[in-house]
Amino acid sequence: MSNLSISDLFKTAWERFRIHWLWGLLLLLISIVLSLIPYLGSLANLLIQAVFVCYGLKAWRSVERFSFEEIFPKDFLTYLKVAAGAIIVAFPALLIVTVLSGFSVIGAFDTGGFYSLTTNLYLSLGLGMLAGVAMTFLFFAYPYLIVDKDLGVITALQQALTLSLNQGGTVLGFLLLALFINFLGGLVCGIGLLITTPVTLIAGAGLYVGLTDNSASQAS
């Protein structure tokens, strides 16, 4: 992918984060505050995903500092499209957890089996997480395609699926490394996530740029 390895992605992302760390940290703090607001906070965090994507792209592409206003997409439709895509991608996992949990609760009431209920709930959550990881892998690039190329939701999902299937090893390797890095960040009382999350966002933008550049070069 444009002669850029996964380790190079994170190395470059770290260098860019050192330049643009303030806006990344500020975005995370805003997201945390929004999470404390019932209902409306969840909706706001869903919409703000477009801002995180825009931040990652600008940070990856620029070695010069930019203003905070520049990381906000100008078209409000962009926020709605990214949020709609996120709901579509998350839907299979939510459906699995909801349906299996419902069956588990009904079965527990019928049999009085508390331990089987607990086991089944853990199983449903595990299957839901696997579905979530699979959908993230398949449609990793969709929000970048919306923010960067102003594509529609369905078109962005289709192109993201093509990119992931054509270069699945690179995407999977990135996601696994990103998961590991953020796991390590979470071990330090969660404080490390204030660094690892923006770095991952920037590296994800770099992966998207590499995937699309490589796809364009193959098509030409």
Mean pLDDT of 111-130: 74
Predicted confidence (pLDDT) per residue in 10-45, tens digit: 999 999 999 999 999 999 999 999 999 988 999 999
Q: Is 190 left (phi over 0), alpha (psi -120 to 50) or beta?
A: left
Tell which residue, 6, 63, 7, 10, has the closest CA to residue 197.
10
Burial class of 92 by CB neighbour count within 10 A (0 to 12, 13 to 18, 19+): middle
- Mean pLDDT value across residues 137-142: 97
Q: Which two tokens stand for residue 142?
A: 């969709």
- Nearest Cα residue to 168 out of 199, 204, 139: 139
Please report the pLDDT score of residue 87 as a whole number: 96
The pTM score is 0.89
Exposed e or buried b for every residue in 201-220, given b needs 16+ CB within 10 A? bbbbbbbbbbbbebbeeeee
- Token pair listed for 185: 């960040």
Domains in the chain: boundaries: 6-83+140-219
pLDDT band at 5 (very low <50, low <70, confident <90, very high): confident
Mean pLDDT over each residue of the chain, to the nearest integer: 90
Q: What is the pLDDT of residue 189?
A: 78
3-class state of residue 69 by DSSP: helix
Residues 6+ apart with CB under 8 A from 100: 120, 123, 124, 127, 128
Binned at pLDDT 50, 70 and 90, residue 4 comes out as low
Residue type, 23: W
Mean pLDDT, residues 136-157? 97
**Highest-confidence range of 36-45, 114-123, 146-155, by mean pLDDT?**
146-155
Residue 26, CA distances (Å) to 22, 76, 149, 188, 189 in order:
6, 21, 25, 19, 19
With 0-12 CB in 10 A as exposed, 13-18 as middle and 19+ as buried, what is 28?
A: middle
CA distance 137 to 169: 10
pLDDT in tens, 44-99: 999 999 999 999 999 999 999 999 999 999 999 999 999 999 999 999 999 998 88
Helices (H), the chain: 6-35, 40-47, 49-61, 76-111, 114-138, 142-149, 153-166, 168-187, 193-219
